[in-house]
Amino acid sequence: MITIARLDGVTRRFGDTLALDAVDLTIDQGELIGLLGPNGAGKSTLLSLLLGRRRPSEGHVELFGGDPASAARRLGLGSTPQETALPETLRVSEVVELVAAHYPDTRPTAEIAEEFGFSDLLRRQCGALSGGQKRRIAVALAFVGRPRLVLLDEPTTGLDVDARHGLWAAIRRHHGAGTTVVVTSHYLEEIEALAERVVVIDHGRVLADGTLASVRDRVDSADVELATSAPDQVAALTGVARADTAGDRLRLTVADADEFVRALVRSDLPFTGLAVRGASLEEAFLSLTSLTERNAA
C-alpha cells in the first residue's frame, strides 16, 4: 500500500470550538473512501486541512509526502468548489481553462465537458446556469488536472436522480482508472453505492473506520418483516426493539436476527413471507452518532 495522505493526531480549534480532536487517518492509493458525519461533525475541516486551506492546531498533515500548504504538493490533488463559487461573468470554458492552467498535464476541455455532460454549456456564462449544471461543472473541475487524489465534498447535492447516477458512474470510472477518491455526502445511499471504506466522524472524532460491511456490523440490530394474524404476540417476543405495521406487514427491529427467528418458530405463532435484512448503513450511522451524542451529554 502506498500512502498518499495522512493525518497524525490532528487537532483543529476555532477559538473555543474543537472541530477536530486528535484525528488519525491514512489514505492509501487506490481507495474510494466515504466520509460520513452529521453537519458540523468536522468533515469540511478535515478536507480543508488536506486542501492546504487551513493548518492544524496540533498534529501533522501530510499530502503526497509533504505539506499540503505548499502549492506544489497540490499538483496531484483535485477538488470541487461550492457551485455558488463559479465566477458569474466567466464562461464555462474559461473557468475550465483557468483551472487547467494550474496543471502540467490536463484533460482537454471538450473531453471533460463530454464526460460530465456539459458540452452544450461551454459558451454560457456561469451566472446563467442552473444549480444542477453548476454542480456538474464544479465536480468536473476536480478531474481537469488528472489528479491522483480527488476530494469531493457533497458532490451530488441538488442533482436529480439521473444526474446523480451519471456522476456516480464517473466517480467509479475514475476510481477504476486508479484515482484515489474521498467523498463526503449527506446521502447514506450514496456512500453505500460508492464507497469501499467508510469513515464515520462526529464531534471531531473518528467513530468508525473500515469496510462498508464492517461498519454496518458495528450495529448488531437487524430488520425483520413478516405478515401475521397475531402482530401483538409477535411484537412481544424477546429481543424486539421496535415494531411498526405497514399495511398487512409487520416491521420489526430486533437485537439479534437469529435469536429472534428461533423464538418466532418456537412460539408457533402464524406468519408468512418472512424477510430478514442486516442493519443499513443509515442505522449504523444513526446508532454510532447518537452514541457520541450520549457520551458528549
State the DSSP H helix or E strand holding residue 170, giving kind and residue range, or none if neither: helix 161-176
66 binds another protein per the rule CB under 8 A: yes
Segment interacting with another protein (CB under 8 A) among 72-80, 198-206, 250-258, 260-268 = 72-80
Residue 91 CB, shortest distance to another protein, in Å, is 9
What Rg do the C-alpha atoms of the chain give, in angstroms?
23
Closer to another protein by Cβ: residue 101 or 275: 101
Interface with another protein in residues 126-155 (CB under 8 A): 145
1 binds another protein per the rule CB under 8 A: yes
Inter-CA distances, 229 with 245, 249, 266, Å: 12, 10, 17
Nearest 10 degrees: Cα torsion 173, 32, 39, 189: 60
Interface with another protein in residues 92-111 (CB under 8 A): 94, 97-99, 101-104
40 binds another protein per the rule CB under 8 A: no
Q: Contact, 117 vs 167, CB < 8 A?
A: no
* Long-range CB contacts (within 8 A, 24+) of 235-240: 237/263, 237/264, 237/267, 238/263, 239/263
Cell 404476540 locates to: 233
Inter-CA distances, 163 with 3, 194, 211, Å: 32, 15, 26
Listed in sequence order, the residues at least 6 apart from 94 whose beta carbon sits closer than 8 Å to its beta carbon are none
Binding test (CB under 8 A) with another protein, winner from 35, 41, 42, 54 = 54
Binding test (CB under 8 A) with another protein, winner from 23, 79, 202, 292 = 79
Binding test (CB under 8 A) with another protein, winner from 72, 161, 246, 297 = 72
Closer to another protein by Cβ: residue 74 or 136: 74
Residue 124 CB, shortest distance to another protein, in Å, is 13
246 binds another protein per the rule CB under 8 A: no
Cite the beta strand spans of the chain per DSSP E: 3-14, 17-28, 32-36, 58-63, 77-79, 149-153, 180-184, 197-202, 205-211, 222-227, 240-246, 249-254, 272-278
Residue 94 CB, shortest distance to another protein, in Å, is 7
Listed in sequence order, the residues at least 6 apart from 258 whose beta carbon sits closer than 8 Å to its beta carbon are none
Binding test (CB under 8 A) with another protein, winner from 25, 77, 150, 257 = 77
Closer to another protein by Cβ: residue 53 or 262: 53
Closer to another protein by Cβ: residue 84 or 214: 84
Number of residues binding to another protein, judged by CB under 8 A: 41
Q: Contact, 77 vs 70, CB < 8 A?
A: no
193 binds another protein per the rule CB under 8 A: no
123 binds another protein per the rule CB under 8 A: no
* Chain residues that interact with another protein, rule: CB under 8 A: 1-4, 14-15, 26, 48, 51-54, 64-66, 71-77, 79, 81-82, 84-87, 89-90, 94, 97-99, 101-104, 125, 145
